Structures are given as structure tokens and as C-alpha cells.
């Protein structure tokens, strides 16, 4: 029998805020344990939640980027369960009234563009982080209360490739929107995948399994592919798929059972009485909509249509937001779009990769790079000189200063060049004779002499021209 | 004791109060923790003597969080809990120059109306130590009635300030929901919890409101309504004021002396020009007050107290795994009564029960409040006897159990919690040497009218600043 | 499981992380009878088309906290009440989710 794989994905994403969802404690990573908390995050008696406006703004940006309907009346609910990483004994979430619903995302598949529907986006708070040692579990509440959005797709994906494309598209978009830093390997973006199989042509869903906490896009694809195969073999051998939670094992590239689901846990959701519903101002929502950062697809279009870049160049630039941001900054100072793209994508990336420098530590300023490109365009430096200048601006230097210090400014003044030409001709009477006798290559030797005399600073084109004129006069 | 009885001599004020405290504690068992006042005295001395509570000793219900001062909410599970932050009301008291002298006993986590269910045991009624103080703010009520402090903070989820105020013969006031910040107040049921206080007279109640009320950004349910100078605007001229007497309550009270006391007061108010009319709400609706209250309160309470698990603070009992630690800590940490209420609360939140229990109760709550609002759209206030008896003996107290006779009369004050409307109990007389009181409820955020009418009542009863103070 | 049997009540209690004694279960059985009887009173009230009342007042708020002002406890204060700790971590028996 032929089976169809049905995939739905839930993604938890930590929001880029300074403070927590419901408390003013700072959101920071890799700090000393329990040093970024206050009484609210620790669930101390008597504390009350107080919603962070920036978290709402970022949730709205995610909703807008995914074409969700936005509910301007923000409400929260309690999800009740007991665990050592859950300080209050309940999590504040948006069970009944998600901030966004009925959205979609377009992904690129081998058969072209495909629309993946989003069921909902809702806000909630993260739990504490636990470290397991042989003698017990250590709990650090620094992460407790960190703002999260959960993005729930409809079961619209049909293969590991589509699942991976969906996660990649979403990750890229949320990153570009500044919603989250989306570091899957560090857990700031966490991905749970639901998979079931059904005979092709059936409209009923089969029993699904959930694979928790996939920590990279390639693992999403690998896990889905493996799990599809596993379920298929089960079904073909007359077995049944059981509803269970599994995890992906990196070493064996397989999915492993974590626990069986015994019925549904009743989280006893009810509306959070300590947060009155908050009516978001329509004009505020509009101002957020109007200040949405450009998405990769929008930037790509701009690069191709407005800047005349090739599809390849445009795609390469938008692959990482930092590179694209850098390029945008460079071309705000120069109109040499193609030249700027080459320097950014090829020369600069080569240095960063070779020196193993992270983009955020890039010593080169976009303004400096633009200046250098402008100098090339004005024939102030040759492209050969530019390579030297570039090496220096990649160390954080100002190109004007480099040119000055190295005295490498190109000589383009005809009078200056005439002086050089005259001196060289006076010193090489034999070459003039050779020229007169029809030995064309004598010119090359004379130009070489001019360049040598000028320490390579003479504008070669101009030198050639003036030399030819002077030779004819002799 | 009135606030105005106190001089600016902080030490003298505090010494007097502290010396009374020790005697009062032997008699009343009203205190969970005595507070060492020296540090506070030093701090207050740096402040402006014109502050409204400059150097005045106050007592605090033990569910209100006090930085560096043990706060147990009269529950064993918090017996060793010393908060690292102050509740907003505590900050306000400190800013006003008050000196805290005691944390007072209460029904565990506010869950009770008798103060019998406190980890430190029964609080005795100052007028008859064999009788109960009422609860859950029993310790605070008893200390004010005993003349130990002129003001004590309490909280009120069903009638937890206003019932003990009636039993102890003091003024007990719960302003509108959102008037006083709940930040730092260990909850019972968040949608019904109010912060309030006890005084011996209406002038002090008015002054305290201006001190404690006001928007607090730490409490998202806190109101932006402007706060007035209630004391300055206090005006007992109630000519033309429309008062509704809740006849459902009055007609079910069996003690003729209480009825007579109430009727005499009504006559006096009418003589002052008030228009008093007896109104009747649907009995079937009022009979739901207690069950609706209990369903909502128990459900919210069960979730609210899930943080008490022995992991980050409080009394931890060991166990072989996390679940066992939580179960052992909570089994030993909560009394039987509290655990049983949590089970009832949790049950009504299950998906299969929510519609017919929790959500049904929330819907009936709206029907009740809508009816109550209609009355207050027409009248300036609603009035009735605050209790159908004097303070009972422990074995007579029915607590929250069903008692058909007094189902309405003993529970009607919860109307103030469901609606959020401001509600105040003040003494109206004595029966068998024990105090009785009346309860007055007004429109949302109209505390001024409420206080004005209560001032008129106080002038008629003459029961201003009555305490059973031991003369020293 | 029989409705409100001791077994069921103990399970209910364990779900909210405590135990009930046999005696407590018996008391609770009685209270459940009353509790459910009170439901009859609620059911007499027509609540068709009535929305749940979650808060005393229905007016929505517009206040949301800004993201600028940070406030954290010192590590010492955060850990002050922790019953079992190790190097500023809260310690519990090993948990595997």
C-alpha cells in the first residue's frame, strides 16, 4: 500500500526582549545561576504578573509576517501542572484567545511554491532550565518567565523535505523580523514535529507520534524521514502506530520512545484572573505593521529589480540577515550595487571565513567599504591598490587614511604625468629609436619605466595616452 | 484608639502598643509574629512628622508580604518563609510613617470565616474569649478591638474583613476591587480578593483609604480611578440619600434584638432625611451566593497555591523523588480543611466538569452582579445586618457548611466580592455584651458616599472608638 | 472507578500533589454530596446567553509594562528561602521529563 505522510509542526520561539514576559527581570544567557530573576519568576507568594509590551510587539510582528488574523483584545489563561521547572505550578499562556490565528507561510518545494497554513500563534512564558547530575537535578530560574511564542502549523506538510523547508522559512523570517535570534542548537527556537501516516486517498488521519525538541533543520528532515519509514514498516507488517512521544537520537539517526501518551493530560485551563483583558490600540498595531523590517523575499526582489543584481547574487546576500543588512548599509553610501555585492559576498566573506570571525565581530565598517568603492570609481585608486586598501579596512582602518599613509593615491593629473613621461623619454633615447623603427613593444617597456618611476601611482591609461602623444612629437 | 489620639512621640506610641501586645496575645492568641520595631523607629525618625501615620503602630494580616519579616499566611507550609520583598500596601504604610508591630493570625491562606483554622490556633473574641473572632482576618480585628493598634490591615475574599469586624465591634472596610493594590498579598481567590483594614471609627477609615488606595503598575487589575481626600470630604449629611435595606437578609434573621437594633437605626437615618426602602432580591438567586462563591474561590485557590511545593521556599518534607517531596510537603503543610477545598476546586476545573461547575458558577456570578447593580443604580447604598448572630462559640460556628436558615443572611456580604463594590461593616450595638454590626455597600469607586453614610450611622449609634482596651 | 470513592478522591488529591487520609476522604465524600446538591441551586438560574464573569469589572485595561526598566533580586535574595541548594542552584532529586 502507498502511504501519505502527514506532518504538523509546533515551534517555540524565545522573543528578543530585555525583560521577561511578566516580570522586569532581565533576559540574559550564560549568566550565573539564579541571578536574573525576581520574586515573580520564582513564583513567590503574593506576586502578580505584569505583561511586557515589547513581547506583545514581537508577537504581533510574527503574526503579521505569517498573515495571521490578529486579536486586538489580549487575554491569558492558566495551564496547571506541577514540575520543578514551573515555579507557579501553572504556566500563563493563551489557550482560548491566541493573539494570532489562521495564518500561512509559503515554502519552496521541489514542485514549486507551497502554502502551509498556520493554526495559531500565542504568547506564553518559558520554564526554568534544569541540569541533571548523578546526585540530583539543579534548577536555574534565569530562563523562567522568558517570553515565548508558540507557532502551531496545520498538518499541511507531506515530507521531511517540506518539514525542513517550513522550519527554515519560518526561522529565517522570524530572524529578519527581529522577533527571535532563532538559535535552534541553543534552544531559543525549539521544534516539535507530529507525524502520522495514512493510505493515499484516505481523508482520515492516522495515529500520530510526536518527536520533541529537534535542534537543527537537518535533524527535522532526518527525523521525519526515519519516523515515516518506521511507521510505514509497522503498518505494512500489520502493526499499529501508538500515540507516543519520541526523541531523535543524533548518534543512530533514529527516533527513540520517550513515553507513551495515556489519554490526554487535563491541564485544567482557565482564564488568568490577575490579567484583565488588554485592548491593544489600533493605531499602535498599525505603527508596528508600518515598521515591519523587510523580509528576505522582499529584499531579494529589491536587489534584483532595483539594483540589477543576478538571482544568484541576490539569494546569496539574503541567506544571512547580517550580510544583507551590511550590504544595505554599504549601498546607502554608494550606487555601485554590483561592485558592492561582489566585495561583500566574495572578498569580505572570504576574509571572515578565513580568519574565523563571527559577523557581529566584523571589523569592517560598511561606510568604509563604500568609501573604498567610491575611490575606485573615481579612479583615485587602482583595483590592484584596492586589494591593499581592503586588507587594511578589514582591520578596521579608514580607507582615506590607508591611502594617505601608504601614499598610494593614483596620479591622474596630465601635467604630472607629462613630467614623468618627459623624464623617462629623456633617459631612454634608444627606446624612442626602436619605436620610430616600428618596434611596438618598446612602448610597453616605456610604460613600465613610468610606473616604476611613479612608484605605481601613475594612472596607467593616462600614462599610455600621453606617452604615445609625446613619442609622435619626438 | 483613634489615629488622632497619637502624638508625634514615636517611642511612646510604639512602647504603649507593644506593652499591650503581650497582654493581648495571652488573652486573644491573635498574633503569629511579633515585629521588632527598633529598626523601623529609626527609619521613621528620619521622616517628616507631618506624615499621616507618623509613628503610629499598625498590625498586618499575615498573608501580606513583609520584607525580612516572616510571612506565613497562618499555614504550616510557609512557617519558615521570610519574604525578600514588600507588598505595595506595606510600602505605602512605610511611606506614610507607620511602624508595624505584629503579623496577625488568620484562617489558613484566608480559607475560612472563623479563624479556627489557623496554624497557631483559634483567635479569641476580645468581648468573650470563649467566642470566635470570626475570620479570616480575625487576628487583625481582635487587635483593633482590644485597643492594641488603631489600625490593622486585612483581606476580604468572601467577608473576611467585614464579618470579624461585626463580631469584634470595629469598623471593617473593603474598598472597591482595584482600589488597593494586591501586589504582595498572598492570594485566596484572585478575582474575589480585596485588601482592606480595620479601624475604630469612620474618620480613620477615610484617612486610611487615601493612604492605601491608588494605581499600582505591579497589579494589572489595579484601577486608574483618582484617589480623593476622603477624610476632608467626609460629610454625614445624608438628606435625600437613598438607602436600600436588603430584606431577604433581615427577614431571615431570628434574633429579635438584632432586628430591633437595625430598625431603630433605620428610623434614625430616616429622621436625618435619608430615604430608606426595603427591597427584595430573588431568593433563588441569593441562595446561590455561597455555592457560586465556593466553586470560584476553591478553583482559583487550588491553582494560586500550586506554587507552595517545598522547592523554592517554605517547609520541605523529603521524599525519594520530586513528586514525593511535593506530596509530602503539601500533605503536611496544609490542614485537612485546605486540602479538601483544593480537591473540590480542582474537581470543578476538569474539562468534563468545567461547563457545569466552574463556568456555570462564573455565569451565575454575572447574573447575581447584574441584579445587584440594578439595585445600586437606583440607590446610594445597600444595607443589612452584618451577621445574624453575635460571635458564636467554636462548636456553633457553621463555617462555610450549608445551613438553610442562614444561607442568605450569613453569606450575603459576598455580594461585595462578586461585584467588587466597596463594602463596610461598622458596629451598631451590643447583644449579651457582644457587639453586632451593620453592613453597607455602595457603587463601584463611590467610597466617599459609602463613608458619608457610615459616618451618619456612626453618629447615630455613638459607637465611635469603642474598644475593650485594658487601661494601663 | 466509583464516583467519589476513596480511591478516586485520593487520586484527585494526588493530582494536586497531596495525600488524603481515609478519614479525610470520608469527610470529603460528605462535602461532595453537599457540593453537588448546591449545583441544583445553580441550575435553577437561567444562564443562557450569559457570559462567564472572570473579573469583577469588564472594562479592558490598556496598560502594558515597558521593556526598559530592569529589576532583579540579588542571587542571595533569590536563594534565601530555598530549602536545598548547591552553588546557587535549587536542588531536587533527579528528574527526567
Axis-axis angle for helices A383-393, A366-377 (nearest 10): 170
CB atoms within 10 A of CB A473: 6
The residue behind cell 521622616 is B47
Contacts of B among chains (3+ CB pairs under 8 A) = A, C
Residue of C36, C51, C83, C95 to mutate when probing chain B, most B C-beta within 10 A: C83
CA distance B293 to B286: 11
Residue range A414-473 in CATH 1.10.10.410: yes
Structural contact between residues B422 and B165, judged by C-beta atoms closer than 8 angstroms: no
Listed as ranges, residues in chain A with pLDDT below 70 are: none
Surface of C (55-94) touching B: CB under 8 A: 55-57, 61, 63, 65, 73, 77-78, 80-84, 90, 92-93
Q: Is B110 left (phi over 0), alpha (psi -120 to 50) or beta?
A: left
pLDDT recorded at residue B403: 57
**How far does the CA of residue A281 sit from the closest CA of chain C (Å)?**
8
Whether the CB of A258 is below 8 Å from some CB of chain B: the reply is no
Residue B261: which of B434, B447, B411, B114 has the closest Cα? B434
Interface test with B, best of A20, A43, A79, A268 (most B CBs within 10 A): A268
- pLDDT, residue C39, reads 87
Which chain B residue lies closest to A264 (C-alpha atoms)?
B351
Q: How far apart are CA B146 and CA B164, in angstroms?
A: 13
Any chain B CB within 8 A of the CB of A34?
A: no
Tens of pLDDT, residue by residue over B164-198, are 999 999 999 999 999 999 999 999 999 999 999 99
Of B63, B217, B326, the CB nearest to A50: B217
Task: Report d(CA B459, CA A82) in Å as an integer.
Answer: 54
Neighboring chain B residues of C51 at a CB cutoff of 8 Å: 363, 366
Indicate the pTM of the whole model.
Answer: 0.91
- Give the chain B residue nearest A278 (alpha carbons): B220
Give residue B405's pLDDT band: very low, low, confident or very high (50, 70, 90).
low
Whether the link from the prior residue into B136 is cis, omega within 30° of 0, is yes
Q: Is ipTM strictly over 0.85?
A: yes
In whole angstroms, what is the distance from residue A13 CA to residue A126 CA? 10
A vs C: CB pairs below 8 A: 122
Angstrom distance (rounded) from CA B283 to CA B261: 24
Rounded average pLDDT over B37-53: 97
The chains found to touch C (3+ Cβ pairs under 8 angstroms) are A, B
Look at residue B471 in the predicted model and tell me its pLDDT. Answer: 44
Q: Cα-flanking dihedrals φ and ψ of residue A315, to 5°?
A: -65, -45
Which of A29, C35, A344, A304 has the alpha carbon at shortest distance from B345? C35
At B235-255, the pLDDT tens digits run: 999 999 999 999 999 999 999
Burial code (b: 16+ CB inside 10 Å, e: under 16) for B214-229 equals: bebebbbbbbebebee
Question: What's the alpha-carbon Rg for chain B, to the nearest Å?
Answer: 21
Cβ contacts of A272 within 8 Å, gap of 6 or more: A49, A75, A76, A77, A78, A92
Whether the Cβ atoms of residue B371 and residue B359 lie closer than 8 Å to each other: no
The answer to whether B78 and B308 are in contact (CB under 8 A) is yes
Residues in B closer than 8 angstroms to A130, CB to CB, are: none
8 Å CB contact of C72 and A36: yes
C73 CB neighbours in chain A (<8 A) are 25, 37-39, 42
- Fold that domain B1-472 belongs to in CATH: Amidase signature (AS) enzymes (3.90.1300)
Name the residue with higher pLDDT: B415 or A315. Answer: B415
* B chain contacts of residue C12, beta-carbon cutoff 8 Å: 343, 346-347
Considering just the CA atoms, what is the radius of gyration of chain C in Å? Answer: 23
Which of A191, A259, B319, A216 has its CA nearest to residue C97? A259
A235 touches chain C (CB under 8 A): no
CB nearest A37 (choices: C52, C72, C97): C72
Q: What is the dihedral of CA C70, C76, C80, C84, to 10 degrees?
A: 110
C-alpha span between C62 and A280 (Å, rounded): 7
- pLDDT tens digits, residue range B249-272? 999 999 999 999 999 999 999 999
Residues 119 through 158 of chain A touching chain C, CB cutoff 8 Å: 130-141
Closest CA to A177 of A32, A48, A288: A288
Q: What is the pLDDT of residues B348-360, one digit of tens each?
A: 999 999 999 999 9
Output the DSSP codes for A134-151: TTEEEEETTSTT-EEEEE
The torsion of the CA quartet A64, A68, A72, A74, rounded to 10 degrees, works out to -100
Digit-coded pLDDT (tens) for C73-92: 999 999 999 999 999 999 99
CB spacing of C38 vs B344 below 8 angstroms: no
Sequence length of chain B is 472
Q: Work out the end-to-end distance of chain A between its first and last CA atoms, rounded to an integer number of angstroms.
A: 93
User: What's the pLDDT score for residue B399?
Assistant: 54
Please report the residues numbered 114 through 153 in chain A whose beta carbons come closer than 8 angstroms to any beta carbon of chain B: 137, 139, 141
Grid-cell match 456555570, residue found: B360
Which of C30, C53, C74 to mutate: most B Cβ within 10 Å?
C53
- Which residues of B are catalytic, by number? 61, 136, 160
Give per-residue burial for A263-298: e unless 16+ CB within 10 Å, then b: eeebbbbbbbbbbbbbebeeebbeebeeeeeebbee
Interchain contact, B334 vs C18, CB within 8 Å: yes
C-alpha closest to that of C90 among A124, A148, A127: A127
pLDDT-based confidence at residue B472 (cuts at 50, 70, 90): very low
What DSSP character marks residue A93?
E
Amino acid at each position: 500500500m502507498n502511504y501519505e505522510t502527514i506532518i504538523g509542526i509546533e515551534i517555540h520561539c524565545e522573543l528578543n526582549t530585555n525583560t521577561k514576559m511578566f516580570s522586569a527581570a532581565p533576559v540574559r544567557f550564560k549568566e550565573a545561576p539564579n541571578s536574573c530573576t525576581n520574586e515573580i519568576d520564582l513564583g513567590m507568594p503574593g506576586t502578580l504578573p505584569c505583561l511586557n509590551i515589547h513581547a506583545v510587539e514581537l508577537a504581533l510582528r510574527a503574526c503579521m509576517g505569517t498573515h495571521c488574523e490578529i486579536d486586538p483584545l489580549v487575554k491569558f489563561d492558566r495551564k496547571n501542572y506541577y514540575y520543578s521547572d514551573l515555579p507557579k505550578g501553572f504556566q500563563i499562556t493563551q489557550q482560548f484567545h491566541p493573539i494570532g490565528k489562521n495564518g500561512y507561510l509559503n515554502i519552496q518545494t521541489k514542485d514549486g511554491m507551497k502554502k502551509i497554513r498556520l493554526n495559531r500563534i500565542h504568547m506564553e512564558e518559558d520554564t526554568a532550565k534544569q541540569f541533571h547530575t548523578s546526585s540530583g537535578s539543579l534548577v536555574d530560574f534565569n530562563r523562567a518567565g522568558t517570553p515565548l511564542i508558540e507557532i502551531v502549523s496545520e498538518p499541511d506538510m507531506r515530507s521531511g523535505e517540506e518539514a525542513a523547508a517550513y522550519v527554515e522559512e519560518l526561522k529565517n523570517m522570524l530572524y529578519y523580523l527581529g522577533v527571535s535570534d532563532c538559535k535552534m542548537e541553543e534552544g531559543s527556537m525549539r521544534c516539535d514535529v507530529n507525524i502520522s501516516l495514512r493510505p493515499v486517498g484516505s481523508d482520515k488521519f492516522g495515529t500520530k507520534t510526536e518527536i520533541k525538541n529537534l535542534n537543527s533543520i537537518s535533524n527535522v528532515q532526518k527525523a521525519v524521514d526515519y519516523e515515516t519509514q518506521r511507521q510505514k514498516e509497522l503498518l505494512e507488517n500489520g502493526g499499529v502506530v501508538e500515540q507516543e512521544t519520541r526523541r531523535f537520537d543524533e548518534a543512530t539517526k533514529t527516533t527513540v520512545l520517550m513515553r507513551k501518551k495515556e489519554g490526554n493530560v487535563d491541564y485544567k485551563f482557565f482564564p488568568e484572573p490577575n490579567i484583565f483583558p488588554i485592548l491593544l490600540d489600533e493605531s499602535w498595531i498599525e505603527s508596528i505593521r508600518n515598521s515591519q523590517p523587510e523580509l528576505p523575499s522582499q529584499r531579494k526582489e529589491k536587489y534584483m529589480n532595483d539594483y540589477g543584481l543576478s538571482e544568484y547574487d541576490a539569494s546569496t546576500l539574503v541567506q544571512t540577515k547580517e550580510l544583507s543588512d551590511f550590504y544595505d548599509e554599504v549601498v546607502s553610501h554608494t550606487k555601485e550595487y554590483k561592485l558592492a555585492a561582489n566585495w561583500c559576498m566574495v572578498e569580505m566573506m572570504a576574509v571572515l571565513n578565513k580568519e574565523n570571525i563571527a559577523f557581529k565581530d566584523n571589523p569592517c565598517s560598511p561606510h568604509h567599504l563604500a568609501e573604498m568603492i567610491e575611490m575606485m570609481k573615481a579612479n583615485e585608486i587602482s583595483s590592484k591598490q584596492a586589494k591593499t586598501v581592503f586588507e587594511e579596512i578589514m582591520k578596521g582602518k579608514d580607507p582615506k587614511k590607508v591611502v594617505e599613509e601608504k601614499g598610494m593615491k593614483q596620479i591622474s593629473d596630465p601635467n604630472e604625468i607629462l613630467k614623468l613621461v618627459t623624464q623617462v623619454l629623456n633617459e631612454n633615447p634608444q627606446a624612442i629609436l626602436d619605436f620610430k623603427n616600428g618596434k611596438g613593444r618598446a612602448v610597453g617597456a616605456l610604460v613600465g619605466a613610468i610606473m616604476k618611476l611613479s612608484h605605481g601611482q601613475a594612472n596607467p591609461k593616462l600614462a599610455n595616452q600621453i606617452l604615445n602623444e609625446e613619442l609622435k612629437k619626438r | 484608639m483613634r489615629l488622632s489620639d497619637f502624638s508625634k512621640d514615636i517611642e511612646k506610641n510604639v512602647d504603649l502598643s507593644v506593652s499591650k501586645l503581650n497582654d493581648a496575645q495571652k488573652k486573644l492568641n491573635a498574633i503569629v509574629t511579633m515585629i521588632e520595631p527598633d529598626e523601623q523607629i529609626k527609619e521613621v525618625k528620619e521622616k517628616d512628622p507631618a506624615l499621616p501615620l507618623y509613628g503610629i503602630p499598625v498590625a498586618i494580616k499575615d498573608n501580606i508580604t513583609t520584607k525580612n519579616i516572616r510571612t506565613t499566611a497562618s499555614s504550616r507550609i510557609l512557617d519558615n518563609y521570610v519574604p525578600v520583598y514588600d507588598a505595595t500596601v506595606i510600602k505605602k504604610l512605610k511611606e506614610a510613617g507607620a511602624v508595624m508591630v505584629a503579623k496577625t493570625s488568620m484562617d489558613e491562606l484566608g480559607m475560612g470565616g472563623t479563624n479556627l483554622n489557623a496554624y497557631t490556633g483559634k483567635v479569641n473574641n476580645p468581648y468573650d474569649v470563649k467566642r470566635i473572632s470570626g475570620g479570616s482576618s480575625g487576628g487583625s480585628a481582635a487587635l483593633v478591638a482590644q485597643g492594641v493598634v488603631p489600625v490593622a490591615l486585612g483581606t476580604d475574599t468572601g467577608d473576611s474583613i467585614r464579618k470579624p469586624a461585626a463580631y469584634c465591634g470595629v469598623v471593617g472596610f473593603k474598598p472597591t476591587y482595584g482600589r488597593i493594590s494586591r501586589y504582595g498579598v498572598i492570594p485566596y481567590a484572585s478575582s474575589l480578593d480585596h485588601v482592606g483594614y480595620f479601624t475604630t471609627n469612620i474618620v480613620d477609615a477615610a484617612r486610611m483609604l487615601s493612604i492605601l488606595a491608588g494605581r499600582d503598575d505591579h497589579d494589572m487589575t489595579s484601577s486608574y480611578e483618582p484617589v480623593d481626600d476622603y477624610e476632608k470630604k467626609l460629610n454625614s449629611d445624608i438628606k435625600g440619600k437613598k438607602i436600600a435595606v436588603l430584606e431577604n437578609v433581615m427577614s431571615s434573621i431570628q434574633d429579635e434584638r438584632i432586628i430591633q437594633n437595625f430598625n431603630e437605626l433605620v428610623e434614625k437615618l430616616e429622621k436625618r432625611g435619608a430615604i430608606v426602602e426595603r427591597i427584595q432580591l430573588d431568593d433563588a438567586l441569593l441562595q446561590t451566593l455561597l455555592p457560586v462563591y465556593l466553586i470560584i474561590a476553591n478553583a482559583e485557590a487550588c491553582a494560586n497555591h500550586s506554587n507552595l511545593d517545598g522547592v523554592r521556599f517554605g517547609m520541605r518534607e523529603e521524599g525519594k523523588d520530586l513528586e514525593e517531596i511535593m506530596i509530602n510537603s503539601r500533605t503536611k503543610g496544609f490542614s485537612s480543611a485546605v486540602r479538601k477545598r483544593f480537591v473540590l476546586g480542582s474537581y470543578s476545573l476538569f474539562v468534563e466538569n468545567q461547563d457545569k461547575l466552574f463556568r456555570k458558577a462564573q455565569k451565575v456570578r454575572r447574573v447575581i452582579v447584574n441584579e445587584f447593580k440594578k439595585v445600586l443604580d437606583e440607590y446610594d447604598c445597600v444595607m443589612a445586618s452584618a451577621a445574624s448572630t453575635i460571635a458564636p462559640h467554636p462548636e456553633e460556628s457553621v463555617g462555610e457548611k450549608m445551613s438553610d436558615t442562614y444561607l442568605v443572611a450569613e453569606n450575603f456580604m459576598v455580594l461585595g466580592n462578586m461585584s467588587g463594590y466597596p463594602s463596610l461593616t461598622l458596629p451598631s450595638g451590643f447583644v449579651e455584651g457582644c457587639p453586632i454590626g451593620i453592613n453597607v455597600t455602595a457603587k463601584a469607586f463611590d467610597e466617599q458616599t459609602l463613608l458619608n453614610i457610615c459616618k451618619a450611622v456612626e453618629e447615630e449609634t455613638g459607637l465611635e472608638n469603642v474598644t475593650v482596651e485594658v487601661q494601663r | 472507578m466509583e464516583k467519589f470513592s476513596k480511591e478516586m478522591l485520593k487520586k484527585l488529591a494526588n493530582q494536586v500533589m497531596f495525600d488524603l487520609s481515609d478519614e479525610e476522604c470520608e469527610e470529603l465524600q460528605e462535602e461532595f454530596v453537599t457540593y453537588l446538591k448546591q449545583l441544583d441551586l445553580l441550575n435553577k438560574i437561567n444562564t443562557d446567553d450569559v457570559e462567564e464573569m472572570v473579573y469583577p469589572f469588564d472594562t479592558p485595561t490598556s496598560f502594558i509594562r515597558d521593556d526598559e526598566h530592569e529589576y532583579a533580586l540579588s542571587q542571595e535574595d533569590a536563594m534565601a528561602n530555598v530549602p536545598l541548594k548547591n552553588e546557587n542552584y535549587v536542588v531536587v532529586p533527579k528528574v527526567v521529563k
